[in-house]
Structure 1
């Protein structure tokens, strides 16, 4: 089964929606325009219920199939952009300086809208489709915000599915990893408070820059000297800020970064050793070092049996030979993991012709993926809630 004919016929409309969303990107929890478009489309297409403002800007659409079944299947797409200035020179490039859909969430939203349009027109399923348009996936806790507002109590689902685009340069493929598929993540912030001085007399200072610089190097020994080579973790310092003049030793410095892990005990090991190193440097250099951690992403766990169902739906559209399961886990993180903590489901990747990687100012999503993703979403509903013969 190729791309569903009704979705293929709607491809120009989907591309128009995508281009509009791409031109007007909105950062997490600010997706008011995007959410308004989503809600209006669902209503225009005849959804039974459309709920707005869930988790600030989230939208949930409820669609009942032809049968009277009680099964409920959730489909989720994210809507937010990134604080990146676009450099693609596309005709439909971002018109908001410093904001860009550099991760393809505009494409994910469009794909789920494409499935919504098709499912509302056909209703060839027995049960209820729960379509979740989530805000603020990019480290801001959009899934948790929706869950805190009783997402699955208000809109129950027996299973929930999602997907992400992958610019591999290999269109027509889909991949999925069973079990632990994407890493959990902590963010950390470190404040070093020392004593400033004139740049010509650093012996009067307790230099926080020396401490901050040394911490970066020492942190890189944690994994190599505390973790077995057969285990996996990532510790990345991604920010260091201090000073404002050429001739002043500053009094403070800050660092920030991220930890990635597949096992909570590895996260705990990294955090413990970071605290110990910070305490040692504070004592040794006569400064204050305060470190705090924020747990941002859970490990994304794909249900093994439902992974097979996601792969089967993708195989209906792309051919089974084009779908690969049991791929290696990814160190990137995704807050769909929070939903999978509550509802079993699966999350896979749909490949496309783009080659510039995600979160890059030159990223371009191949729009040929839009009807593909929409068809996979639609087939998940039809396969998991089939009408009686």
Structure 2
């Protein structure tokens, strides 16, 4: 088995769709133009059950198979990033400061390709729900779509997604059971002291020195509070304070990202961050106000669904191009909310050499779109096969 011939036959059409989407990126929940393009294609395919405006600009379309059965969900994200593109491609973004630097244009295209094929053949039982999601890059459109009831409303009982992966040979699938991507939380610390003249520090309570002490002490959570067998990252990414050389400021601000895989580690980190920040602040005679903003949970692949998805991937690209034990990574994904609601799997699809994700020179490799579309299509046919007749 390989790439589906019918899908390979309209590869040029996939490329045209993808490059159009690349030229017209949209951010966050404001993916209305992208959604209109998606809906126009779906209607061209003869799909009539289409619900728009979910999570502001999300779309769910249903294709009916040729027999009774359950409903499988396939998800693609649609939003871009606030990055100034430097690819120089003929199809580069026409919207300065916005670009598809994470391959969501390709994800949407691959799902559209599968939709075109599945709408033509309908060689499966039950239904497939095509989920086109806005706002993966931060706002959390996946959570909103789940909260707005798509899993129950469309009776979805399993769900899958693909993400392009530069730096891995084109057409290679990588996944793993259990957590494949981390939970992400955001730390905010406001250090409150008492400002004054920098020449008379003894008359102040200096938040700058305290902030430096807090940042250094935070690093001990990873080195001294974490079980060495548990993955954990705490990266301080911002310190803001002061405005002039001869004034000790009143306050300092510290910002960090927290990446964990288990609830136990996450809770330990939250507790220790408060203890460390408040204790360090007290030792400097200042006060720390700690706020932890919960973000995406860990992206957790169901073991059985992951094995099944890998089997399907092998049918498309062969045994040697499927890795089932990919090391988990500290990036985060809001597909995690859909996997909390229903069992399923998240897979990466290699796209070859080139700049990495979120880089201004990144561009999706159009050659792998038929591979991803074929995977989605075969997944549906294998998960919900038609009953054999005598």
* C-alpha separation in 2, matches of 1:20 and 1:258: 34
Query: What is the Cα-based RMSD across aligned positions, in Å?
Result: 1.6
Aligned twin of 2:152: 153
1:265-284: CA deviation from partner (whole Å, max 9, x where unpaired):
11111111110111113212
Alignment of 1:210-359 (within 5 A): 210-359=209-358
CA 1:195–1:90 in 2, change beyond 3 Å: closer, same or farther?
A: farther
Contact 2:151 2:157 in 1 (8 A): no
* C-alpha separation in 2, matches of 1:203 and 1:85: 47
CA 1:107–1:229 in 2, change beyond 3 Å: closer, same or farther?
A: same
Contact 2:214 2:281 in 1 (8 A): no
* C-alpha separation in 2, matches of 1:96 and 1:291: 38
CA 1:243–1:33 in 2, change beyond 3 Å: closer, same or farther?
A: farther
Contact 1:48 1:64 in 2 (8 A): no
How far did residue 164 of structure 1 move? 0.7
Alignment of 1:85-96 (within 5 A): 85-96=84-95
Aligned twin of 1:68: 67
SS at match of 2:349: strand
Aligned twin of 2:97: 98
CA 1:369–1:247 in 2, change beyond 3 Å: closer, same or farther?
A: farther
Contact 1:177 1:327 in 2 (8 A): yes
Aligned twin of 2:33: 33
Gaps of 5+ in 1: none
Aligned twin of 1:42: 42
Which segment drifts farther, 356-365 or 121-130? Answer: 356-365
* C-alpha separation in 1, matches of 2:255 and 2:358: 19
In the superposition, the TM-score normalised over structure 1's length comes to 0.95
SS at match of 2:220: helix
SS at match of 1:53: strand
Which segment drifts farther, 344-353 or 37-46? Answer: 37-46
* C-alpha separation in 2, matches of 1:385 and 1:339: 20
Aligned twin of 1:381: 380
Gaps of 5+ in 2: none
Alignment of 1:119-158 (within 5 A): 119-158=118-157
Which segment drifts farther, 213-222 or 158-167? Answer: 213-222
In the superposition, the TM-score normalised over structure 2's length comes to 0.95
Contact 1:176 1:349 in 2 (8 A): yes
What is the aligned residue count?
388
